[in-house]
A and B are shown apart, each in its own frame.
Chain A
Amino acid sequence: MVTRKWKICLLGAAGVGKTSVTRRFVRSIFSAEYQTTVGVTIERKRVQRAGVEIELVIWDLSGEDEFQRVQLSYLEGASGYLLVIDSTRASTLGTARTLHSAVDGAVGRIPFVVLLNKSDLAESCEVSLGLSDPLAGRAVRVFRTSAKTGAGVEAAFSALVDAIPLEP
Chain B
Amino acid sequence: MARRSATTAGMAELRRLIVGEEERRVADVLPSAVALGAKRDKKLAFALAPMVADTLGDVARTQPEKLSDALQPIIGKAVRKAVAAAFAALVQRVNLAMEQTLSIRSIRWRIEAARTGRPFAEILLLHSMVFRVEQVFLVHRRTGLLLSHAAMEPEATRDPDQVAAMLNVIERFVHDAFREGATLTRFEVGDLVGRSEIGAQASITAIVRGVAPEEELGQLLRDALERIQLGYGDALREFGGDTAPFAGAGEVLNACLLERRRERKRSPLLPVTAGLLGVALLVLVGVLVVRARAAEQRFRGLERALREQPGIVITSAERDGQRIVIRGLRDPLAEDPAAILSARGLDPSQAVLAFEPFYSSDRRLVEKRVVAALSPPRAIGLAIDRGTLRIAGIAPREWVLRARLMAGVLPGVTAVDTSAVREREAVDLVADALPRIEGTTFFFERGSAALASVDDARLDALARDVLTALTHASAAGVRVRAAIDGSADALGSVEDNRRLSLARAEALAAALARRGVPANALVARVEGETASVPSRRVVVRVLLEGAAIESPAGGASW
Which residues in A have some Cβ–Cβ distance to B below 8 Å?
3-7, 39-40, 42-44, 54-55, 57, 59, 71, 73-74, 76-79, 167-168
By DSSP majority rule, is chain A's interface helix, strand, loop, or mixed?
strand
Q: A57's contact among B165, B172, B242, by CB below 8 Å, is which? A: B165
Per-residue CB proximity of B222-263 to A under 8 Å, as 1/0?
000000000000000010111110000000000000000000
Q: Is B142 an interface residue (CB 8 A)?
A: yes
Question: Are A5 and B238 within 8 A (Cβ)?
Answer: no
Q: How far is the CB of B242 from chain A (nearest CB, A)?
A: 6
Q: Are A168 and B161 in contact (CB under 8 A)?
A: no
Residues 131-178 of B at the A interface (beta carbon under 8 Å): 140, 142-146, 159, 161-162, 165-166, 169, 172-173, 175-176
User: Which residues of chain A have C-beta atoms less than 8 A from B244's C-beta?
Assistant: 3
Contacting residues, chain B, for A44 (C-beta < 8 A): 159, 161-162
Q: Given A5-B145, A77-B143 in contact, is the A168-B240 Cβ separation under 8 Å?
A: yes
**Which 3 A-B pairs rank lowest in CB-CB distance, beginning with the nearest?**
A168-B240, A77-B143, A77-B142
A57-B145, A73-B172, A74-B172 known; A42 vs B242 contact (CB < 8 Å): no
B176 and A77: CB pair below 8 A? Answer: no
Instruction: State which of B142, B143, B240 has its C-beta within 8 Å of the C-beta of A167.
Output: B240
Give Cα distance in the complex from A5 to B140, angstroms.
11
Residues of A within 8 A of B159 (CB): 44
Nearest B residue to A58, CB-CB = B165
Picked from A6, A54, A71, the residue with its CB within 8 Å of the CB of B172 is: A71
Instruction: Report chain B residues within 8 Å CB of A78.
Output: 143
A158 to B: closest C-beta gap in Å? 17
Partner of B165 from the list A3, A42, A54, A73 (CB cut-off 8 Å) is A42
What's the nearest-Cβ distance from chain A to residue B309, in Å? 43
Chain A neighbourhood of B143, CB < 8 A = 7, 76-79
Set of chain B residues within 8 Å of A4, measured between Cβ atoms: 241-242
Q: Mark B66-82, 1 if CB is under 8 A from A, else 0.
A: 00000000000000000
A5 touches B241 (CB 8 A): yes
Report if A42-B241 is in contact (Cβ < 8 Å); known contacts: A73-B172, A77-B145: no
* CB atoms of A40 and B169 under 8 A apart: yes
Instruction: Provide a sorted-by-A list of 18 A–B residue pairs whose CB atoms are within 8 angstroms.
Output: A3-B243, A3-B244, A6-B145, A7-B144, A42-B162, A42-B165, A42-B169, A44-B159, A57-B165, A59-B165, A59-B169, A71-B173, A71-B176, A73-B172, A77-B142, A78-B143, A167-B240, A168-B240
The distance from the CB of B282 to the nearest CB of chain A, in whole angstroms, is 55
The residue that A77 contacts in the complex, of B140, B161, B238, B243, with Cβ under 8 A, is B140
Extra contacts besides A5-B145, A5-B243, A6-B241 (17): CB < 8 Å:
A4-B241, A4-B242, A5-B146, A5-B161, A5-B242, A7-B143, A7-B165, A42-B169, A43-B162, A44-B161, A57-B144, A59-B165, A71-B173, A73-B176, A77-B143, A79-B143, A168-B240
The distance in angstroms between the C-alpha atoms of A55 and B162, with both chains bound, is 11
Residue of A nearest to B142 (CB): A77
A residues within 8 A CB of B162?
42-44, 57
Chain B residues with CB below 8 A from A3, complex form: 242-244
Number of residue pairs across A and B with beta carbons under 8 Å? 62
| Contacting residues, chain B, for A73 (C-beta < 8 A) | 172, 175-176
By a CB distance below 8 angstroms, the chain B residues around A5 are 145-146, 161, 241-243
What residue of chain A has the Cβ atom nearest to residue B143's Cβ?
Answer: A77
For residue B161, which residues in chain A have a CB less than 8 angstroms away from its CB?
5, 44, 55, 57
Give the residues in chain A near B145, CB-CB below 8 Å. Answer: 5-7, 57, 77
List chain A residues, Cβ under 8 A from B242.
3-5
Q: Among A43, A71, A76, which residue has its beta carbon within 8 angstroms of that of B142?
A: A76
**A168-B241 contact, Cβ under 8 Å, with A57-B145, A76-B142, A77-B144:** yes
Note all chain A residues with C-beta closer than 8 A to B238.
168
CA distance A76 to B176 in the complex (A): 13
Bound Cα distance A6, B146 (Å): 10
Kindly state the separation between the CA atoms of A6 and B169 in the bound complex, as whole angstroms.
16
Q: Find chain B residues with CB under 8 A from A54 CB.
A: 241
What residue of chain A has the Cβ atom nearest to residue B162's Cβ?
Answer: A42
Rounded to whole angstroms, the CA-CA distance of A3 and B245 in the bound complex is 11
Query: In the bound complex, how far is the Cα of B237 from the Cα of A77, in angstroms?
Result: 12
**Closest A residue to B242 using CB positions:** A4
CB B312 to nearest CB in A, in angstroms, measures 39
Q: How far is the CA of A43 from the CA of B159 in the complex (A)?
A: 10
Residue-wise, chain B 478-519 has the 8 Å CB interface mask toward A (1 for contact) of 000000000000000000000000000000000000000000
- For B140, list chain A residues within 8 Å (CB): 77
Interface centre among A4, A54, A57, A73 (most CB of B within 10 A): A57
What is the CB-to-nearest-CB distance from A134 to chain B, in angstroms, rounded to a whole number? Answer: 28
B175 nearest in chain A by CB position? A73
Identify which of A3, A7, A59, A79 gathers the most chain B CB atoms within 10 Å of its CB.
A7
Q: Bound complex: CA of A40 vs CA of B166, how far in Å? A: 9
B169: chain A residues within 8 A (beta carbon): 39-40, 42, 59, 74
Distance, CA A59 to CA B241, complexed state (A) = 15
- When chains A and B are docked, how far (Å) is the Cα of A55 from the Cα of B243? 11
Q: What's the Cα separation between A5 and B162 when bound, in Å?
A: 12
Q: How far is it, in angstroms, between the C-alpha of A34 and the C-alpha of B510 when the chains are bound?
A: 90
Complex CA gap A40/B241 in Å reads 21
Q: Which of A3, A6, A42, A55 gathers the greatest number of chain B CB atoms within 10 Å?
A: A42
**A59–B551 Cα gap in the complex (Å)?**
85
CA distance A128 to B242 in the complex (A): 37
- State A164–B451 Cα separation when bound (angstroms): 122
